[in-house]
Amino acid sequence: MSEPKKPSEEYVVIRHRPGYRVRRTLILLVFSLVAAVIGYATGMAQGGFRFSTAEESRNRLLDQVEQLRDHNREMSQQIVNLERGRAVDQQALNQARRNIVELETRLASLQSELVFYKNIMAPSDSTRGLQIDRVRMRRTPNKGVYDFMVVLVQRGDNKSYLSGYAEVSVVGLRDDQKESIALRDLSADIEQTDIKLRFRYFQEVKGQLTLPDGFEPLEVQVMAKRDGSGSAKVERTFDWDELTER
């Protein structure tokens, strides 16, 4: 028997190229370097643009901030000026109001005095002769202490002096009992119960009184009488609360 044939061996032929791999490696290295240089240049160009733009924006913002600061200072100064002007105007307004109040008070006082003297010089027929014109009571800082004034007038015939006397008393409650106290017992300015009168037009009886502890005043009674037999006396009663509510 013959032996089977073995497959024939195949051979591959490769062309020998000296330096091929070296050249290919150099070419790749050159391309890589070129690409790196181009990328770096591009990055620098773009980075320089962004830096320039940011710097310009920063400068613009700084300018705007400074302008706003200047505007704020101007506005603050205007506010200060307006506040000062308003304060001056308010002071002037307050002073004007005070002046008006003083003038109105003075006018009211003058009108009251005018009526007072008019009633003395030209009274009606029913109010001629000796009259009790008014009583005034004014509180003081001290508890129970009051400034008082009683005004008596002679209306109509003022050619001669009027003489006579007046009695003033404060009526009130003490221990739930009604009590009348003469002005002489309440005031060191009054020496007698019968207050002497002598005047041509009017006479003021004034001073300071002190109410006793536990005494609640209700009214002030005034009686006046002209000297001479048959002369009628005049009397008036004044409510204490009305006298002291001013």
pLDDT tens digits along 150-178: 999 887 777 788 899 999 999 999 998 99
* CA 1/CA 3 separation, integer angstroms: 7
What single string gives the DSSP state of each residue in 86-125? HHHHHHHHHHHHHHHHHHHHHHHHHHHHHHHHHHHHS--G
Domain CATH for 209: 2.60.40.150
pLDDT tens digits along 31-56: 666 565 565 555 555 555 455 576 77
The answer to whether 133 and 151 have CB atoms below 8 angstroms apart is yes
User: Containing domain of residue 105, as a range?
Assistant: 17-122
Residues in CB range of 206: below 8 A, 6 or more apart: 147, 148, 149, 150, 189
Residue 161 sits in the same domain as residue 114: no
Residue 130 sits in the same domain as residue 202: yes
Least confident of 109-118, 164-173, 207-216: 109-118
| Residue 6: inside a domain | no
Looking at residue 36, its pLDDT comes to: 59
* CA 165/CA 237 separation, integer angstroms: 17
Least confident of 56-65, 75-84, 141-150, 196-205: 56-65
The structure's pTM equals 0.54
Looking at residue 33, its pLDDT comes to: 61
Residue 107 sits in the same domain as residue 219: no
Residue 105 sits in the same domain as residue 149: no
